[in-house]
Amino acid sequence: MVVNHNSKPEEKKEEKKAEEKKLDEKKPEERKEAAEKKGEEKKEPERKEAAEKKEAAEKKEEKKEAAEKKEGREEAAEKKEEKKEAAEKKEAAEKKEEKKEAAEKKEEKKEAEKKAEEKKESEKTGAEKKIEAIEKKFEEKKPLKFLFVSYEGLIGDLAWQVKKEGHEAKYFIQAKSEKDVCDGFVDKCDDWKALKDWADVIVFDDIGFGALVEALRKDGKLVIGGTLYSDKLEDDREFGQDELKKAGLNILPHWDFTDFDEAIGFVQKNPSRYVIKPNGKAQNEKELLYVGQEEDGNDVINILMLYKKSWSKKLNNFQLQKYAQGVEVAVGVFFNGKEFVTPVFINFEHKRMFPGDLGPNTGEMGTSAFWSPQNTLFNETLAKMKDALAAGGYIGYVDLNCIANARDIYPLEFTMRFGYPTISLQLEGVTSLWGEFLYKLAKGEVTELKTKKGFQICVVVGVPPFPYTDPAAFRRYSEEATILFRKPVYDGVHLGDVKLVEGDWRLAGQSGYSLIITGSGSTMDDARKQAYKRVENIMIPNMFYRTDIGERWVRDSDLLHNWGYLY
């Protein structure tokens, strides 16, 4: 093999020539680039100057625009201010016009009201003007004028209380035998109708005045008293029971009679315990009420035979009521013509003459009581009569005597008037001013009565012939008898049939119903102690009274609470 030792140097020489050729080819481009670069560097100051000129021009333009905008805003603000000012001027002008119109309308309205008032004043009845005058007098705390109207002289204690409060009081008594009752304590009159326009408030104390009361109210008078409807509730037992049943109360079975033989035959065919209750005016003869004691009714039959012989002319309408065992309790409350005036008066009558419920029925020898918020006893009885009483426009006191036991509360009879001695007991427990209360009651405005807490009792102090009517016995044992006080203390002493003669308290009328003594306490026992201590201060020839008023409360309260009627 032949080796060429000169081949490598030749190759290297060729490579070197190629590189030099490449370099020669690049140099014109580089020179061109360098020339271009140099040309660019020369142009840079020009471009920079041009850019600066452009920027300066733009800034100038911006300033010009900003100045124009500012000028525009200021001009807009000026225009806005001018517009606002114009609007304000317009609004002020409109308001001024409105005020002017309002003032003119106000003046027109004032003038129209004045004319309407003048017209109303001219059209007012004498009664309306009278009531307005009474209202003004009351607002000015001036004494009011009260006229008390009575058949038998029952309301003297309330009339005396109103007088002691500073009001004027006139008292009319129709019964000749009772004309001197309350002489010296209250001013009397012989013709109440002549004073009806004198009085601010007229007070009737009994049932039987319903037609008169309704007529007086229509004439615009302020009156406390019954209506034809309320009179019938008490006077007609059958009607009263029917109304109670209609109102949703459970009533005891009862039967009305006008013939004694029919009643006797009824009991013989239906032997049981019954209660004999007179209807109508005979109800005032309390001794005629008889509670049967024998389960076969034989005692009731014997009493009916006796009444047939002795009382047939006077007792011509009576009721037999099924006897029910339980607690006898009465629920009372004032009514203002539209609604009840609370609180409620829960009271327990003691009707028999002697302690232990012995002796003849007197109507009432004393009562224990307390004022209560509305409770089950009230809600289940009198509360259900609200609509009926409101429909009749009754204004006064209403009381419902009941028998309560574990099964139910059974209403027995209505008292649609002030109660006696109940009103004297209420004078002990009420702290409201009676003149103000009676005025607001008659107007239908009062809804609440202020009362003491705790308990009250009253004790009736009688003399012969009470509870009977016997003028000869009264003249013999009691007429003109003087009432003496061991100490000159008159707290809790309330007027029955008495009068004031030359500073002395004397018996009056002819009933022997002399005084009612009251007491209060935080417990029933405290009330009893105060009342009987006050009784001890009284001295009247032949006086008598029950010594156990309020004792029954211990048992009765336990039962009523246990049955859920009191709480």
The mean pLDDT value for 400-428 works out to: 97
For the segment 286-293, the average pLDDT, to the nearest whole number, is: 86
Given a cut of 80, is residue 226 above it in pLDDT? Answer: yes
Tell me: pLDDT of 220 over 70. yes
Give the pair of three-digit tokens for residue 259.
């013939």
Which residues have a Cβ under 8 Å from the Cβ of 386 and sit 6 or more positions away? 339, 340
Average pLDDT over residues 261-290: 88
What pLDDT does 20 receive? 66
Q: What is the pLDDT of residue 149?
A: 98
Q: Taking residues 322-349, what's their average pLDDT? A: 97
**Region 359-371 average pLDDT:** 95
- The number of residues in the chain equals 567
DSSP string, 49-69: HHHHHHHHHHHHHHHHHHHHH
pLDDT in tens, 108-163: 787 777 776 776 666 556 666 666 777 766 676 789 999 999 999 999 999 999 99
pLDDT for the residue numbered 483: 98
Strand partners for 148: 171, 203
Does the pLDDT at position 175 exceed 90?
Answer: yes
- Residue 275's pLDDT band, with cuts at 50, 70 and 90, is very high
Picking from 437, 364, 399, 445, the residue whose alpha carbon sits closest to that of residue 161 is 437
pLDDT of residue 283: 72
Break the chain down into helix, strand, coil percent, rounded to 5: 45, 20, 30
Q: What is the pLDDT of residues 467-524, one digit of tens each?
A: 999 999 999 999 999 999 999 999 999 999 999 999 999 999 999 999 999 999 999 9
pLDDT at 36: 66
Check residue 324 and report its DSSP letter: -
Lowest average pLDDT, out of 86-95, 388-397, 456-465, goes to 86-95
- Read off the amino acid at residue 63: K
pLDDT of res. 27: 60
DSSP string of 442-465, one letter each residue: HHT---B--B-SSEEEEEEEE-TT
98: confidence class by pLDDT, cuts 50, 70, 90: confident
Instruction: Read off the pLDDT of each residue in 541-545 and give the average, rounded to a whole number.
Output: 97
- Report pLDDT for 19: 67
Query: d(Cα 395, Cα 403) in Å, to the nearest integer?
Result: 26
**Spatial separation of the C-alpha atoms in residues 28 and 39, rounded to whole Å:** 16
Q: What is the dihedral of CA 64, 70, 75, 80, to 10 degrees?
A: 150
Residue 37, H or E segment: helix 7-123
Report whether pLDDT(404) > 90. yes
Whole-number pLDDT of residue 26? 58
CA distance 358 to 343: 32
Q: What is the pLDDT of residue 39?
A: 64
> What distances in angstroms separate CA 305 from CA 236, 267, 308, 360, one per listed residue?
23, 12, 5, 18
Task: For 30-61, write each residue's pLDDT tens digit.
Answer: 666 666 666 666 667 777 777 777 787 778 87
Q: Annotate 329-351 with b (16+ C-beta within 10 A) or e (fewer).
A: bbbbbbbbbeebbbbbbbbbbbb
Tokens (6 digits) for 67:
């100045």
Percentage of the chain lying above the pLDDT 70 cut: 88
The end-to-end CA distance of the chain, in Å, is 147
Say which range, 68-82, 363-377, 437-451, has the weakest mean pLDDT.
68-82
Burial class (CB in 10 A: 0-12, 13-18, 19+), 414: buried
Between CA 140 and CA 144 the distance in angstroms is 11
Residue 367 has pLDDT above 50, yes or no: yes
Going 408 to 414 to 419 to 421, the CA torsion angle's sign is negative
